[in-house]
């Protein structure tokens, strides 16, 4: 009973508060752009579907989900290929399947597919002493979808896949010097990129392609190049009152406000107090899940929970830092607050599987 009430207070309550704030933001979204007039209805539908999915996946036989995770990975990979062929190009990236009333981003599905596949693989190899085999499998399964996402291009999604792979290897490798070797290799590649960037940009463009090169250039030069989005976001945050403008008013137009700049949009709409509430909600959920992570003994649960925690926290950190001008704008939404069905549904799937795993382990995981 104690754990049940802690679930409600530390998990469901802050989650519901974030969703209420998001829906209130969506009511103001049409003031930015008339094409946003259905955002509230769609976001509400996705939340309802999300809770249905959460309930279903917390009840099903979860061992089968991991058993067939590789087939789920292959299915997600096929979608990544198809989106390059028949997907709709939005903001310079061909990353969405667009239907009449909604769109779907396959790279979001790949996050879950990769986390399930790598977790299952690492768990099944826990008694093996061959770290090199595990590394090669993890790297291969991560690089293949990253190549197709690279072609879209979607910088943010690639980062998430590499974070999942890194966390799985960090927790699974018996000899950590392999991991240090991999980190060294990544640093070498980044150093080579920087050298080419400053000395031979033409060669770099011919290797990466024009679109992806300029995305990477934006990451390097973000501290010196301001943008209309960022300037307006910082103006909104800096000029906001304690309570904001309220419903049916906006203080200043922010491009992509319901998605990438939802944090600044929230503060503009409902004040600095609401921005603090958002941060508090994320803090409560993060701390609660971290406490669970350190109490869990089952390695399968620990691996999957760690992969979720890593991308969940990283997404919060990057998006809020983007809104504050501390990090470059790379198109990463804020979990459970930004508009978008793909991210919402995938995160509910993650949570449903986690709750199922914790229930299956029969542990009282929080004091």
pLDDT digits (tens, 9 = 90+) for 281-317: 999 999 999 999 998 888 899 999 999 999 999 999 9
Does 42 fall in a domain? yes
Mean pLDDT by 10 residues, the chain (367 residues): 60 93 96 91 96 91 91 97 88 80 88 96 83 91 94 86 94 81 80 78 72 62 63 89 87 89 95 96 94 90 95 95 88 92 94 86 40
* Per-residue confidence (pLDDT) for residue 358, from 0 to 100: 84
Number of domains in the chain: 1
Does 332 fall in a domain? yes
Cβ neighbours for 305, distance < 8 A, ≥ 6 positions apart: 289, 292, 293, 296, 354, 357
* Per-residue confidence (pLDDT) for residue 218, from 0 to 100: 61
Does 367 fall in a domain? no
Does 139 fall in a domain? yes
Q: What is the pTM of this model?
A: 0.88
Positive/negative CA dihedral, 44, 50, 52, 55: negative
| Rounded Cα–Cα distance for residues 61 and 3 (Å) | 22
Does 274 fall in a domain? yes
Does 31 fall in a domain? yes
| Rounded Cα–Cα distance for residues 95 and 107 (Å) | 8
Alpha-carbon torsion, ordered 176, 177, 183, 188, to 10 deg: -170
* Per-residue confidence (pLDDT) for residue 239, from 0 to 100: 87
108 in Cβ contact with 57 (< 8 Å):
no
In 3D space, the residue among 65, 128, 17 whose CA is nearest the CA of residue 355 turns out to be 65
pLDDT digits (tens, 9 = 90+) for 91-144: 777 888 888 777 889 999 999 999 999 999 999 988 776 888 999 999 999 999
Name the residue with tokens 């919402």: 344
* Per-residue confidence (pLDDT) for residue 219, from 0 to 100: 61
Kindly list the distances between the CA atom of residue 87 and the CA atoms of 82, 156, 160, 275, 343, in Å, as whole numbers in the listed order.
7, 18, 21, 35, 18
Print the domain residue range for 202: 2-361
* Per-residue confidence (pLDDT) for residue 35, from 0 to 100: 87
Does 165 fall in a domain? yes
Which residues on neighbouring strands pair with residue 88, listed in sequence order? 96
| Rounded Cα–Cα distance for residues 166 and 161 (Å) | 9
* Per-residue confidence (pLDDT) for residue 138, from 0 to 100: 95
Q: Which H or E run includes 97?
A: strand 93-98
Does 366 fall in a domain? no
């Amino acid at each position: 009973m104690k754990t049940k009430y802690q679930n409600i207070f530390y998990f469901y309550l802050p989650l519901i508060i974030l969703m209420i704030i998001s829906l209130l933001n969506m009511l103001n979204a049409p003031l930015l752009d008339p094409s946003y007039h259905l955002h509230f209805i769609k976001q509400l539908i996705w939340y309802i579907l999300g809770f249905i999915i959460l309930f279903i996946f917390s009840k099903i036989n979860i061992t089968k989900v991991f058993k067939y995770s590789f087939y789920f990975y292959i299915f997600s990979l096929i979608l990544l290929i198809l989106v390059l062929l028949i997907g709709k190009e939005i903001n310079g990236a061909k990353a969405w399947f667009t239907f009449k009333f909604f769109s779907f981003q396959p790279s979001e599905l790949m996050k879950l597919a990769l986390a399930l596949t790598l977790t299952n693989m690492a768990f099944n190899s826990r008694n093996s002493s061959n770290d090199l085999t595990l590394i090669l499998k993890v790297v291969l399964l991560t690089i293949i979808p990253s190549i197709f996402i690279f072609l879209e291009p979607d910088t943010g999604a690639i980062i998430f896949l590499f974070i999942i792979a890194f966390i799985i290897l960090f927790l699974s490798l018996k000899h950590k010097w392999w991991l240090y070797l991999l980190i060294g290799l990544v640093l070498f590649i980044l150093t080579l990129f920087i050298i080419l960037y400053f000395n031979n940009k033409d060669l770099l463009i011919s290797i990466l392609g024009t679109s992806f090169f300029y995305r990477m250039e934006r990451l390097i030069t973000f501290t010196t190049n301001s943008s209309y989005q960022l300037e307006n976001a910082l103006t909104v945050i800096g000029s906001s009152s304690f309570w904001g403008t309220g419903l049916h008013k906006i203080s200043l137009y922010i491009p992509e406000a319901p998605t990438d700049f939802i944090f600044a949009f929230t503060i503009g709409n409902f004040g600095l107090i609401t921005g603090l509430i958002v941060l508090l909600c994320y803090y409560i959920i993060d701390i609660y899940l971290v406490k669970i992570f350190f109490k869990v003994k089952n390695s399968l649960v620990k691996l999957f929970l760690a992969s979720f925690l890593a991308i969940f926290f990283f997404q919060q950190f990057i998006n809020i830092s983007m809104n504050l001008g501390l990090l470059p704008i790379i198109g990463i939404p804020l979990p459970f607050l930004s508009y978008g069905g793909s991210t919402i549904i995938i995160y509910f799937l993650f949570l449903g599987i986690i709750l199922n795993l914790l229930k299956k382990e029969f542990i009282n995981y929080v004091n």
